[in-house]
Amino acid sequence: MNPGFVLKEATNLFFKGRRVSFAACAIFAVVLSIVGVFALGTFYLLDFKKSVEERLEAVIFLSNDADSGLLLSEISNLEGVSSGSAVTSEQALSEFKLELGRDARLLDILDSNPLPPSIRLRLTPEYRTRAKLDALEQKLKLFKGVEEVWIDRNLLSRLNTFLYVILGADFFILLLVGFSAVLVTMLATRFAILDRRRIIDIYWLMGVTPRTLRAPYVIEGIYAGFFASIISYVIVFVLHTLLARLHLGVGFPALQIAIILAGLGVLFGWLGSGLAIDAFKLKRT
């Protein structure tokens, strides 16, 4: 196989057959953009899940006669606890008033502070699963002076469930758009072969091998997939920029999106052109 001949033919096929190639590339870009949007949404969700996990804390409500300082020093040595802080009843009431805002005056009818002292714990990453949280809660309840332990584990469960749903949707969309992209590439390759049938016959007479004849069409499909991935990347980036104006505070996963789109573009382009050649049975006429 002559690499120079193959690359030259592939380039001619892609750029000289502008209508078919560019139409296929445009459709391909739309298809990949759908994948990119779902991938971007998944990265947003993963980033949000990570931020929630980082803010996850265990709140230990204590009895009024408990020594919060001593308990904090003992609990801080437990596996899964990264840091902790003691909160007095007065501090808890002040924070509660701030959360209530204008409605804080409703608390003035109380004769005494109903909020107990507490300890707030930040947890290590490996202790952010439901099973680990349940085990930690049981350990914390064994300490003298601990009245109740509160951990918002349900939020993590809901996030994980939603994440699994999104990943399932990603997989379904990937199959759907992958089939569409391969079909578009197959049609573009088929039109290119039909358009150059006479030239192909001449190459047969010149003794060009079947592998050399087929290679340019495969590379043309890869070209289409790669250029479509660039266009779709720009579309996804523009969408992210627009969403960033809503102050979402989420970064753009540039490298991950680029790898996903470029990889899928090249893969679908290669598959589509290869299947088209096999289906069309490129051979001597």
My answer on whether 36 and 162 are in the same domain is yes
pLDDT of amino acid 263? 93
Residue 199 lies in domain: 3-51+158-280
pLDDT at 81 (0 to 100): 87
The tens digit of pLDDT for each residue in 219-269 reads 878 888 898 999 999 999 999 998 888 766 678 899 999 999 999 999 988
Structure tokens given for 71: 């308990």
Residues 44, 137, single domain; the answer is: no
Q: How many structural domains are present in the chain?
A: 2
For residue 221, is it within any domain? Answer: yes
pTM of the model: 0.71
Sign of the C-alpha dihedral computed for residues 19, 24, 30 and 33 taken in this order: negative
Q: Is the pLDDT of residue 17 over 60?
A: no
In a domain, 128, yes or no: yes
Q: Does 285 map to a domain?
A: no
Is 208 among the domain residues? Answer: yes
**Is 70 exceeded by the pLDDT of residue 192?**
no
Q: Quick check: 145 and 67 in contact, CB under 8 A?
A: yes
More confident residue, 128 or 70: 70
Q: Do both 174 and 140 map to the same domain?
A: no
Let me know: does 25 contact 228? Beta carbons within 8 Å. yes
Q: Residue 162 — very low, low, confident or very high, per pLDDT cuts 50/70/90?
A: confident
Same domain, 183 and 252: yes
Residue 103 has pLDDT above 80, yes or no: no
230 domain-assigned: yes
Same domain, 187 and 270: yes
What is the pLDDT averaged over residues 136-162?
84
Q: How far, CA to CA in Å, does 257 sit from each of 39, 96, 226, 251, 264? A: 7, 42, 13, 12, 11
Query: Mean per-residue pLDDT for 157-167?
Result: 82
Does the residue 187 lie in any domain? Answer: yes
